Every structure is written in structure tokens, then in C-alpha cells.
Homo-oligomer: A and B are copies of this chain.
Amino acid sequence: MKLYDSKQAPNPRRARIFLAEKGIALPTEQVDIMAMQHKTAEYTAINPLQRMPALVLDDGTVITESIAICRYFEVVQPEPPLFGVGPKEIALVEMWNRRAEINFFANVAAVFRHLHPAMKELEVPQVPAYAEAMRPRALWFLQFLDGELATREFVASDRFSVADITTLVAVDFLKPARLTMPEGLAHVQRWHAAVSARPSAKA
């Protein structure tokens, strides 16, 4: 089994934090996105979509998409549960992971991909007007989340889950996207300090 990982990119970090929370160590190969290594023929044979990360199982099966990799290990090693337990919590974790992805992470990524000079050769064409349209949506989500985190410890429930991992990675991606956390979000700040202090956040 081998994990193709990119230290600089946010999606592989989701898989790395998840694995750290599970206490799972894997052989890893680094793929340098800024050096376009994910566009080589060698990596394209592994993932034709040229996206990171990718997990190759012992039978040769390739699993791409960070959350699909996480889900593989959730089934193989259920403890500690990171996708919820029981129908209601499982649905709430899926809901909050998706809310964080669609309404926040994707919008932060859009600002980075469509405005940052470093992405000029990776996001073709860059559409700055799209980044500008998504910027207020990314920041709105943090306001919304602040009200939610007033009522519970973590993003989806009172248990740490993959929804916290997605949200943490997206918050930490504000800086490369040159976005600033709005002031006064006391509950988001409390939550961010707590999840950043977990050893897995360094993964």
C-alpha cells in the first residue's frame, strides 16, 4: 500500500490528518504540484484526473479523492470513529463535511486558484471575476459557522470528525488565498485553537 502525497496542497493534508487521528502510518511518495509532477505520464497513469492524493492498495486498486481514502480507513479501522456513529450522527457529519467543502473550502480554493499568480500555469484560464464572486461567500460561511460553534464543541457534533478536518484545512488555506478571517468570531477562534493543538494538525 502506498500514499501519493503533496505536502503543499490542502486535500492531501485532509488525508494525512485523518490517518494521524487513526494512528495509521503508510509508505508515502511526495508529488510536487508546483513542479507539475502530478501532470507527468507516470502520475497520470495512477490518477487520470491529475489530482492529489492517491492511495494504491496492495492489489493495485487506486483510490483517489481524499475523502474516499479516509472512508477506506474508516471501514478498515473504525476506531476512533471520524464519520459519526449511528444514522443521525453519520448524516450530520456528511452534511457538515459537505457544507464545509461546498460553501467554504471550494470558495477559498476558488480565490486561490483564480487570483494567485502562482496558479497561472495550473489553473488555465484564471477567471478573477469568479474569485471575486466567491470571496464573500467564503467569509459568510465563517460567520454562519461561528453561530453553530456557539452551540457545540465541534463542527458536526460534540465529537471530533472529518468535518473538523475539512474545516481546519480550509481555514488554514485562507492565508495562501490571501483572505483574512473576519474579526469577532470567538467560537470559530476557540474551535480553531483546539483543533490546531491536536497532534494530528501537524500532519
Q: A95: which B residues are within 8 A, CB to CB? A: 63-65, 68
Does A180 lie at the interface of the complex (its beta carbon under 8 Å from any beta carbon of B)?
no
Does A203 lie at the interface of the complex (its beta carbon under 8 Å from any beta carbon of B)?
no
| Cβ-defined contact, B61 with A98, below 8 A | no
**CA of A120 to CA of B38, assembled, Å:** 37
Q: How many residues of A contact B (CB 8 A)?
A: 32
| Cβ-defined contact, A94 with B65, below 8 A | yes
| Cβ-defined contact, B125 with A65, below 8 A | no
Does A41 lie at the interface of the complex (its beta carbon under 8 Å from any beta carbon of B)?
no
| Cβ-defined contact, B75 with A94, below 8 A | no
Q: How many copies does the complex hold?
A: 2
CB distance from A111 to the nearest CB of B (A): 13
Does A103 lie at the interface of the complex (its beta carbon under 8 Å from any beta carbon of B)?
yes
Does A182 lie at the interface of the complex (its beta carbon under 8 Å from any beta carbon of B)?
no
| Cβ-defined contact, A75 with B68, below 8 A | no
20 contacts between A and B (CB under 8 A): A48-B144, A49-B144, A61-B92, A63-B95, A64-B99, A65-B95, A65-B98, A65-B102, A68-B91, A68-B92, A68-B94, A71-B94, A72-B87, A72-B88, A72-B90, A75-B86, A75-B87, A75-B91, A127-B127, A130-B130
